[in-house]
Amino acid sequence: MLTVVLFEPQIPPNTGSTGRLCGATNTRLHVVGKLGFELSDKTLKRAGLDYWDHIDWEYFPDLNKYCDHMIRNESFHLLTTKSNQKYTSRKFKSDDFIVFGSETSGINENILKKNWNNTCTIPMANKNIRSLNLATSVGIVLYEAIRQVEIEL
């Protein structure tokens, strides 16, 4: 099963929308590290509507411990605006972790540098736009992974 990973998300509706997307695609969701909201936040629940009982999700409070485990797995993709490798050039497998950073700071530079070969980006035509919305980015990359892995929805 594919796993979407959100490192230290800060905006509840993004996490809620991502949870809803994961539920709709039968994708696991891992929320990791220090959050910018409480998991009981009304806006998080509202964005995910009444689907939370149908989502395979888990919260991991320790970012470093989670990264150590994930990196040993070696089947992960780190999304960053700093990479030159397009997400469409990555080869996704059914047990991959697709990792997105915080809306405000992205993925920690140390993690990126240590795992540069696992980075990729969503290209954008307008260089004045720094990045896309987190939930939008998850949708773009997740559906490419689903297409490659040939998961039936």
Can you list the domains of the chain with their CATH numbers? 3-149 (3.40.1280.10)
Instruction: Look up the pTM and report it.
Output: 0.94
Q: What share of the chain is helix, strand, coil (3-state, %, to 5)?
A: 40, 20, 40
CA distance 149 to 153: 12
pLDDT, tens only, 11-68: 988 999 999 999 999 999 999 999 988 877 677 667 666 778 889 999 999 999 999 9
Sheet-wide strand order for 28-32: 57-60, 28-32, 3-7, 97-100, 76-79, 119-120
Q: Which of 93, 110, 74, 133 is nearest to 1 (CA)?
A: 93
Residue whose tokens read 């080869």: 91
